[in-house]
Amino acid sequence: MEISLGLWLATIAGITALMAIDFIAISRKAHDVKFQEALWTSIFYVGIAVAFGVFIYVWQGPQFGTEYFAAYLVEKSLSIDNLFVFIIILTQFAVPFNLHQRVLLIGVALAIVLRGIFIAIGATALEYFSFTFVIFGALLIWTGVQLMRHRNEDPDPRDNFMVRVARKRYRFSDGYHGTKLFIQENGLRVATPLLLVMFAIGSTDLLFALDSIPATFGVTQEPYLVFTVNAFALLGLRALYFLLRGLLDKMIYLSLGLAVILIFIGIKLVLTYFHEINAAIPKISTNMSLAFIAIVLIAVAIGSAIKVRRDPSARGHAGRLTDEKPESEV
């Protein structure tokens, strides 16, 4: 798949423009996003992603078109797990509801930049060092196993390394002051808790990129497709958060389902490497990957719904936290 520099620049410019529109929109007035606004924004971003996939399908043919949609499905499902962690961060740091949009949008911007860097590194490694398939595969299998083992545990963003470093470096005010990261207090320049939230979001994005990029390369080895599906999945993340905020705690088996998907893609990457060495070793096709991922996600949704119906008190791992009283603890 040959992508010209002009198309790369046009794609990056389009994604940047979409983010700029979002920044301008939320800068006019900070507010808590209601369901209808979140719904239409989500439809807009999913529509853009689907339309782009149709464009790839028509332009490059069914092989790349199928790879794009399979990769998008992987990234979209992984992004929902991102939302669990974002809920935990926003809750534990007691971020006011009217600031959630800004925090999430900055998190998305950081994620796109970080993933762009990782995609460039990953694509270069795969081109010149084919054993990278095995390394990526092993990383995904290990991540999936760890996610399965700790699926009922909540991370504590206050113990995050970057957050601890920020606490040692800056003095902090007791409360939030709108969108300001620093204020003057008693003649001293001090940071607000919002700075801690930014550190927590940024470092979390970095960790998610380490899992997300290999997972996408497990579906398609085309850097352009890997970048665009990551960007489109992330652009809709802010709206998806507000759309699903009250429903995420009902996804009881999401972590388990994502663990299965990561292990599956890890095995697919390892088989891809050995298939290149020996054609007798089978490899998993893109169509099979797409079907498997879809079946797992459907099973997660149905299984979670049945569990909640039988046990109304059951909660996903972020749901247990949001039932507790939030604390800023700076």
Return the domain boundaries, the chain: 15-322
Helix (H) or strand (E) holding 189: strand 188-191
Query: What phi-psi label fits residue 192: left (phi over 0), alpha (psi between -120 and 50 degrees) or beta?
Result: beta
Q: What is the pTM of this model?
A: 0.77
Sign of CA pseudo-dihedral 60, 64, 70, 74: negative
Percent share of the chain, pLDDT over 70: 87
- pLDDT band, very low/low/confident/very high, at 289 (cuts 50, 70, 90): confident
Residue 176 has pLDDT above 90, yes or no: no
Residues 108, 244, 95, CA angle at the centre, nearest 5°?
A: 60
- Helices assigned H by DSSP within 1-99: 5-28, 35-60, 62-92
pLDDT of 299 over the 80 cut: yes
Q: For 232-248, what is the mean pLDDT?
A: 77
Most confident of 171-180, 247-256, 319-328: 171-180
- Give the per-residue pLDDT at 157: 65
Is the pLDDT at 29 greater than 70? The verdict is no
Distance, in Å, from the CA atom of 239 to the CA atom of 39, rounded to the nearest integer, reads 7
Spell out the residues 6+ positions from residue 95 whose beta carbon is closer than 8 angstroms to its own.
89, 103, 176, 193, 194, 197
From residue 126, alpha-carbon distances to 20, 63, 74, 120, 129 in Å are 33, 20, 20, 10, 5
What confidence score (pLDDT) does residue 47 get? 94
pLDDT digits (tens, 9 = 90+) for 51-109: 999 999 999 999 999 999 999 988 888 777 677 777 778 877 888 887 888 888 888 88
Looking at residue 172, what DSSP letter applies? B
* Residue 222 φ then ψ, to 5°: -85, 110
What count of other Cβ atoms lies within 10 Å of the Cβ of residue 298? Answer: 11
